[in-house]
Structure 1
Amino acid sequence: MPDYDADRFTAIYDGCRQRVWAYVVSRAGRQVADEVVSETFTVAWRKLDEVPEPPLPWLLGVARNILRDNIRAEARRTSFVAELRSWTEPAEADIAEEISERSALLKALASLPEDDRELLILSGWQGLTPAQAARVVGCSPITLRVRLHRARKRLTEAASAYPLIRDAAVEQGMSPQVRIATGKEA
Protein backbone atom coordinates (compact mmCIF):
# COMPACT_ATOMS: atom_id res chain seq x y z
CA MET A 1 0.00 0.00 0.00
CA PRO A 2 2.74 2.58 0.78
CA ASP A 3 4.22 2.06 -2.71
CA TYR A 4 0.82 2.76 -4.23
CA ASP A 5 0.48 5.93 -2.12
CA ALA A 6 3.92 7.15 -3.14
CA ASP A 7 3.23 6.43 -6.81
CA ARG A 8 -0.17 8.13 -6.67
CA PHE A 9 1.25 11.18 -4.92
CA THR A 10 4.11 11.41 -7.43
CA ALA A 11 1.64 11.23 -10.32
CA ILE A 12 -0.52 13.96 -8.75
CA TYR A 13 2.51 16.13 -8.05
CA ASP A 14 4.00 15.73 -11.52
CA GLY A 15 0.65 16.26 -13.22
CA CYS A 16 -0.56 19.28 -11.24
CA ARG A 17 2.39 21.16 -9.73
CA GLN A 18 2.83 23.58 -12.63
CA ARG A 19 -0.87 24.47 -12.76
CA VAL A 20 -1.12 24.94 -9.00
CA TRP A 21 2.01 27.13 -9.11
CA ALA A 22 0.56 29.20 -11.99
CA TYR A 23 -2.69 29.66 -10.06
CA VAL A 24 -0.86 30.85 -6.95
CA VAL A 25 1.38 33.21 -8.96
CA SER A 26 -1.70 34.73 -10.59
CA ARG A 27 -3.22 35.41 -7.17
CA ALA A 28 -0.25 36.31 -4.98
CA GLY A 29 2.94 36.67 -7.02
CA ARG A 30 6.11 34.65 -7.32
CA GLN A 31 7.45 35.53 -3.85
CA VAL A 32 4.96 33.30 -2.07
CA ALA A 33 4.18 30.77 -4.82
CA ASP A 34 6.81 28.19 -3.94
CA GLU A 35 5.86 28.19 -0.27
CA VAL A 36 2.12 27.92 -0.94
CA VAL A 37 2.62 25.14 -3.51
CA SER A 38 4.80 23.28 -1.03
CA GLU A 39 2.15 23.59 1.68
CA THR A 40 -0.56 22.55 -0.78
CA PHE A 41 1.22 19.32 -1.65
CA THR A 42 2.04 18.68 2.00
CA VAL A 43 -1.70 18.77 2.69
CA ALA A 44 -2.27 16.51 -0.32
CA TRP A 45 0.23 13.98 1.04
CA ARG A 46 -1.35 13.99 4.49
CA LYS A 47 -4.85 13.65 3.05
CA LEU A 48 -4.00 11.50 0.07
CA ASP A 49 -7.00 9.22 0.69
CA GLU A 50 -9.29 12.28 0.39
CA VAL A 51 -7.83 13.61 -2.85
CA PRO A 52 -10.49 13.04 -5.52
CA GLU A 53 -10.08 12.36 -9.22
CA PRO A 54 -9.31 14.63 -10.96
CA PRO A 55 -7.12 16.15 -8.23
CA LEU A 56 -6.56 19.64 -9.72
CA PRO A 57 -9.76 21.35 -8.47
CA TRP A 58 -9.18 19.97 -4.97
CA LEU A 59 -5.55 21.12 -5.02
CA LEU A 60 -6.56 24.60 -6.20
CA GLY A 61 -9.09 24.78 -3.36
CA VAL A 62 -6.38 23.85 -0.85
CA ALA A 63 -4.01 26.45 -2.36
CA ARG A 64 -6.78 29.06 -2.18
CA ASN A 65 -7.36 28.31 1.52
CA ILE A 66 -3.64 28.49 2.27
CA LEU A 67 -3.43 31.84 0.48
CA ARG A 68 -6.41 33.12 2.46
CA ASP A 69 -4.81 31.97 5.72
CA ASN A 70 -1.54 33.68 4.75
CA ILE A 71 -3.39 36.92 3.99
CA ARG A 72 -5.16 36.79 7.36
CA ALA A 73 -1.90 36.08 9.16
CA GLU A 74 -0.21 38.98 7.38
CA ALA A 75 -3.10 41.29 8.31
CA ARG A 76 -2.76 40.22 11.96
CA ARG A 77 1.00 40.80 11.86
CA THR A 78 0.54 44.22 10.28
CA SER A 79 -2.08 45.16 12.86
CA PHE A 80 0.12 43.93 15.69
CA VAL A 81 3.13 45.87 14.39
CA ALA A 82 0.99 49.01 14.07
CA GLU A 83 -0.25 48.54 17.64
CA LEU A 84 3.28 48.08 18.96
CA ARG A 85 4.41 51.12 17.01
CA SER A 86 1.59 53.19 18.54
CA TRP A 87 2.87 52.18 21.98
CA THR A 88 6.42 53.22 21.22
CA GLU A 89 5.94 56.35 19.11
CA PRO A 90 4.52 59.29 21.03
CA ALA A 91 1.92 61.33 19.18
CA GLU A 92 1.83 64.59 21.10
CA ALA A 93 2.26 63.60 24.73
CA ASP A 94 5.42 62.63 26.49
CA ILE A 95 6.08 58.91 26.12
CA ALA A 96 6.93 58.51 29.79
CA GLU A 97 3.61 60.07 30.75
CA GLU A 98 1.70 57.78 28.39
CA ILE A 99 3.47 54.72 29.77
CA SER A 100 2.79 55.84 33.33
CA GLU A 101 -0.90 56.38 32.55
CA ARG A 102 -1.17 53.00 30.85
CA SER A 103 0.61 51.32 33.74
CA ALA A 104 -1.67 52.99 36.29
CA LEU A 105 -4.76 51.98 34.32
CA LEU A 106 -3.56 48.37 34.10
CA LYS A 107 -2.95 48.39 37.87
CA ALA A 108 -6.48 49.69 38.42
CA LEU A 109 -7.82 46.99 36.11
CA ALA A 110 -5.81 44.32 37.92
CA SER A 111 -7.32 45.41 41.24
CA LEU A 112 -10.83 44.52 40.04
CA PRO A 113 -12.49 41.14 40.53
CA GLU A 114 -11.89 38.60 37.74
CA ASP A 115 -15.49 38.85 36.47
CA ASP A 116 -15.22 42.64 36.07
CA ARG A 117 -11.88 42.34 34.28
CA GLU A 118 -13.31 39.75 31.91
CA LEU A 119 -16.28 41.93 30.98
CA LEU A 120 -14.13 45.01 30.44
CA ILE A 121 -11.63 43.11 28.31
CA LEU A 122 -14.34 41.43 26.22
CA SER A 123 -16.06 44.70 25.47
CA GLY A 124 -13.20 47.19 25.46
CA TRP A 125 -10.22 45.26 24.15
CA GLN A 126 -11.84 42.45 22.19
CA GLY A 127 -14.53 44.75 20.79
CA LEU A 128 -17.42 42.36 21.36
CA THR A 129 -20.96 43.67 21.32
CA PRO A 130 -23.02 43.11 24.48
CA ALA A 131 -24.83 40.22 22.77
CA GLN A 132 -21.55 38.56 21.78
CA ALA A 133 -19.98 39.09 25.20
CA ALA A 134 -23.15 37.73 26.84
CA ARG A 135 -22.74 34.51 24.85
CA VAL A 136 -19.15 34.21 26.04
CA VAL A 137 -19.98 34.62 29.74
CA GLY A 138 -23.31 32.78 29.59
CA CYS A 139 -25.87 35.43 30.47
CA SER A 140 -28.46 37.57 28.70
CA PRO A 141 -27.39 40.77 26.89
CA ILE A 142 -29.40 42.86 29.36
CA THR A 143 -27.70 41.24 32.34
CA LEU A 144 -24.34 41.75 30.66
CA ARG A 145 -25.04 45.47 30.13
CA VAL A 146 -25.84 45.88 33.82
CA ARG A 147 -22.71 43.98 34.86
CA LEU A 148 -20.59 45.92 32.39
CA HIS A 149 -21.95 49.23 33.67
CA ARG A 150 -21.06 48.22 37.23
CA ALA A 151 -17.61 46.99 36.15
CA ARG A 152 -16.91 50.29 34.40
CA LYS A 153 -17.99 52.17 37.50
CA ARG A 154 -15.66 50.06 39.67
CA LEU A 155 -12.81 50.64 37.21
CA THR A 156 -13.43 54.38 37.33
CA GLU A 157 -13.34 54.26 41.14
CA ALA A 158 -10.17 52.16 41.14
CA ALA A 159 -8.53 54.48 38.61
CA SER A 160 -9.31 57.54 40.72
CA ALA A 161 -6.64 56.36 43.14
CA TYR A 162 -4.03 57.15 40.49
CA PRO A 163 -3.47 60.90 40.00
CA LEU A 164 -2.11 60.43 36.48
CA ILE A 165 -5.32 58.80 35.30
CA ARG A 166 -7.52 61.27 37.17
CA ASP A 167 -5.73 64.26 35.66
CA ALA A 168 -5.67 62.70 32.17
CA ALA A 169 -9.43 62.07 32.37
CA VAL A 170 -10.08 65.72 33.12
CA GLU A 171 -7.67 66.94 30.42
CA GLN A 172 -9.22 64.64 27.81
CA GLY A 173 -12.75 65.82 28.59
CA MET A 174 -14.08 62.53 29.90
CA SER A 175 -17.69 62.19 30.91
CA PRO A 176 -19.08 63.94 34.01
CA GLN A 177 -19.51 60.50 35.63
CA VAL A 178 -15.77 59.87 35.26
CA ARG A 179 -14.95 63.35 36.56
CA ILE A 180 -17.24 62.91 39.58
CA ALA A 181 -15.84 59.43 40.29
CA THR A 182 -12.31 60.79 40.06
CA GLY A 183 -13.10 63.76 42.27
CA LYS A 184 -12.79 66.40 39.50
CA GLU A 185 -16.17 67.94 38.70
CA ALA A 186 -16.34 70.28 35.74
Structure 2
Amino acid sequence: MEDERSARFEELYAAHLGHVTGYVRRRTDDPDDAADVIAETFLVAWRRLDDVPRGDAARFYLYGVARRTLANQRRGERRRRDLTARIGQDLAADLAAAAAPDPARPEIGAAFRALAEADRELLGLAGWEGLDNGQIAAVLGVSRNAVRIRLHRARRRFARQLERRGADHLTVHALATRSKGEPA
Protein backbone atom coordinates (compact mmCIF):
# COMPACT_ATOMS: atom_id res chain seq x y z
CA MET A 1 0.00 0.00 0.00
CA GLU A 2 2.72 2.49 1.04
CA ASP A 3 4.79 1.50 -2.02
CA GLU A 4 1.82 2.28 -4.28
CA ARG A 5 1.38 5.65 -2.58
CA SER A 6 5.07 6.51 -2.95
CA ALA A 7 5.09 5.40 -6.58
CA ARG A 8 2.01 7.52 -7.35
CA PHE A 9 3.55 10.57 -5.71
CA GLU A 10 6.85 10.11 -7.53
CA GLU A 11 4.98 9.85 -10.82
CA LEU A 12 2.94 12.98 -10.00
CA TYR A 13 6.09 14.87 -9.01
CA ALA A 14 8.03 13.85 -12.11
CA ALA A 15 5.14 14.68 -14.44
CA HIS A 16 4.26 18.07 -12.97
CA LEU A 17 7.33 19.58 -11.28
CA GLY A 18 8.24 21.53 -14.42
CA HIS A 19 4.70 22.87 -14.83
CA VAL A 20 4.39 23.91 -11.19
CA THR A 21 7.87 25.45 -11.20
CA GLY A 22 7.04 27.53 -14.26
CA TYR A 23 3.70 28.59 -12.81
CA VAL A 24 5.26 29.71 -9.54
CA ARG A 25 8.40 31.33 -11.01
CA ARG A 26 6.25 33.51 -13.28
CA ARG A 27 4.38 34.77 -10.22
CA THR A 28 7.24 35.55 -7.83
CA ASP A 29 10.56 37.32 -8.27
CA ASP A 30 12.37 35.70 -5.38
CA PRO A 31 13.83 32.24 -6.12
CA ASP A 32 13.73 31.34 -2.42
CA ASP A 33 10.05 32.22 -2.19
CA ALA A 34 9.42 30.20 -5.34
CA ALA A 35 11.23 27.19 -3.88
CA ASP A 36 9.16 27.46 -0.69
CA VAL A 37 5.90 27.56 -2.64
CA ILE A 38 6.88 24.63 -4.84
CA ALA A 39 7.89 22.56 -1.82
CA GLU A 40 4.67 23.44 0.02
CA THR A 41 2.60 22.60 -3.09
CA PHE A 42 4.04 19.12 -3.32
CA LEU A 43 3.83 18.65 0.44
CA VAL A 44 0.10 19.34 0.23
CA ALA A 45 -0.10 16.92 -2.70
CA TRP A 46 1.62 14.22 -0.63
CA ARG A 47 -0.64 14.78 2.36
CA ARG A 48 -3.79 14.82 0.24
CA LEU A 49 -2.69 12.37 -2.42
CA ASP A 50 -6.07 10.66 -2.42
CA ASP A 51 -7.70 13.98 -3.37
CA VAL A 52 -5.34 14.65 -6.28
CA PRO A 53 -7.04 13.80 -9.56
CA ARG A 54 -5.29 11.51 -12.01
CA GLY A 55 -3.98 12.47 -15.43
CA ASP A 56 -3.79 16.07 -16.69
CA ALA A 57 -6.33 17.22 -14.12
CA ALA A 58 -3.59 16.77 -11.50
CA ARG A 59 -1.70 19.71 -13.01
CA PHE A 60 -4.69 22.00 -12.54
CA TYR A 61 -5.15 20.77 -8.99
CA LEU A 62 -1.46 21.53 -8.29
CA TYR A 63 -1.82 24.99 -9.87
CA GLY A 64 -4.70 25.66 -7.49
CA VAL A 65 -2.64 24.57 -4.51
CA ALA A 66 0.29 26.72 -5.67
CA ARG A 67 -2.01 29.70 -6.19
CA ARG A 68 -3.40 29.44 -2.66
CA THR A 69 0.09 28.91 -1.25
CA LEU A 70 1.34 32.03 -3.06
CA ALA A 71 -1.62 34.01 -1.71
CA ASN A 72 -0.91 32.81 1.83
CA GLN A 73 2.75 33.67 1.43
CA ARG A 74 1.93 37.20 0.21
CA ARG A 75 -0.55 37.75 3.05
CA GLY A 76 2.03 36.57 5.56
CA GLU A 77 4.69 38.81 4.07
CA ARG A 78 2.32 41.77 4.12
CA ARG A 79 1.48 41.08 7.79
CA ARG A 80 5.18 40.78 8.66
CA ARG A 81 5.98 44.01 6.81
CA ASP A 82 3.12 45.88 8.52
CA LEU A 83 4.08 44.50 11.92
CA THR A 84 7.73 45.38 11.36
CA ALA A 85 6.78 48.93 10.39
CA ARG A 86 4.49 49.30 13.41
CA ILE A 87 7.09 47.90 15.81
CA GLY A 88 9.74 50.09 14.20
CA GLN A 89 7.63 53.20 14.72
CA ASP A 90 6.86 52.27 18.32
CA LEU A 91 10.48 51.44 19.01
CA ALA A 92 11.71 54.65 17.40
CA ALA A 93 9.32 56.68 19.54
CA ASP A 94 10.37 54.79 22.69
CA LEU A 95 14.06 55.16 21.88
CA ALA A 96 13.68 58.84 21.09
CA ALA A 97 11.98 59.39 24.43
CA ALA A 98 14.49 57.28 26.37
CA ALA A 99 17.57 58.57 24.59
CA ALA A 100 16.55 62.19 24.43
CA PRO A 101 19.60 63.92 25.84
CA ASP A 102 19.18 66.19 28.78
CA PRO A 103 19.55 69.59 27.10
CA ALA A 104 21.38 70.81 30.18
CA ARG A 105 23.85 67.85 30.05
CA PRO A 106 24.80 67.09 26.41
CA GLU A 107 28.25 65.94 27.50
CA ILE A 108 26.83 62.76 29.03
CA GLY A 109 25.34 61.47 25.78
CA ALA A 110 28.42 62.55 23.81
CA ALA A 111 30.72 60.76 26.25
CA PHE A 112 28.63 57.57 26.08
CA ARG A 113 28.49 57.61 22.27
CA ALA A 114 32.28 58.06 22.13
CA LEU A 115 32.82 54.71 23.88
CA ALA A 116 33.47 51.49 22.00
CA GLU A 117 30.42 49.32 21.33
CA ALA A 118 31.58 46.71 23.86
CA ASP A 119 31.82 49.35 26.61
CA ARG A 120 28.40 50.79 25.74
CA GLU A 121 26.89 47.31 25.86
CA LEU A 122 28.39 46.55 29.26
CA LEU A 123 27.36 49.88 30.75
CA GLY A 124 23.91 49.59 29.22
CA LEU A 125 23.36 46.09 30.61
CA ALA A 126 24.43 47.25 34.07
CA GLY A 127 22.79 50.67 34.10
CA TRP A 128 19.74 50.53 31.87
CA GLU A 129 18.85 46.86 32.19
CA GLY A 130 19.84 46.68 35.87
CA LEU A 131 21.69 43.38 35.48
CA ASP A 132 24.29 42.21 37.97
CA ASN A 133 27.68 40.80 36.96
CA GLY A 134 26.42 37.22 36.91
CA GLN A 135 23.49 38.10 34.67
CA ILE A 136 25.71 40.14 32.36
CA ALA A 137 28.11 37.19 32.19
CA ALA A 138 25.21 34.97 31.05
CA VAL A 139 24.18 37.49 28.36
CA LEU A 140 27.71 37.91 27.03
CA GLY A 141 28.80 34.30 27.44
CA VAL A 142 31.83 35.15 29.59
CA SER A 143 32.80 34.59 33.21
CA ARG A 144 31.52 36.75 36.05
CA ASN A 145 35.10 37.80 36.79
CA ALA A 146 35.62 38.88 33.18
CA VAL A 147 32.50 41.05 33.47
CA ARG A 148 33.75 42.59 36.70
CA ILE A 149 37.08 43.52 35.10
CA ARG A 150 35.57 44.73 31.81
CA LEU A 151 32.90 46.76 33.59
CA HIS A 152 35.50 48.42 35.80
CA ARG A 153 37.56 49.35 32.72
CA ALA A 154 34.49 50.55 30.81
CA ARG A 155 33.53 52.81 33.70
CA ARG A 156 37.04 54.28 33.82
CA ARG A 157 36.92 54.98 30.07
CA PHE A 158 33.48 56.56 30.50
CA ALA A 159 34.83 58.77 33.30
CA ARG A 160 37.70 59.90 31.05
CA GLN A 161 35.25 60.71 28.25
CA LEU A 162 33.11 62.71 30.68
CA GLU A 163 36.14 64.64 31.93
CA ARG A 164 37.22 65.41 28.34
CA ARG A 165 33.80 66.91 27.74
CA GLY A 166 33.94 69.11 30.80
CA ALA A 167 31.52 67.25 33.07
CA ASP A 168 31.80 68.30 36.69
CA HIS A 169 33.44 66.01 39.25
CA LEU A 170 30.14 64.94 40.87
CA THR A 171 28.67 63.92 37.50
CA VAL A 172 31.79 61.98 36.59
CA HIS A 173 31.77 60.17 39.91
CA ALA A 174 28.02 59.44 39.87
CA LEU A 175 27.91 58.10 36.31
CA ALA A 176 31.20 56.25 36.22
CA THR A 177 31.00 54.34 39.49
CA ARG A 178 29.31 51.14 40.48
CA SER A 179 25.51 50.92 40.12
CA LYS A 180 23.40 50.74 43.28
CA GLY A 181 23.01 47.23 44.56
CA GLU A 182 25.65 45.80 42.25
CA PRO A 183 27.72 43.12 43.93
CA ALA A 184 31.46 43.60 44.13
Q: How does the TM-score come out when normalised to structure 1?
A: 0.48
Larger radius of gyration: 2
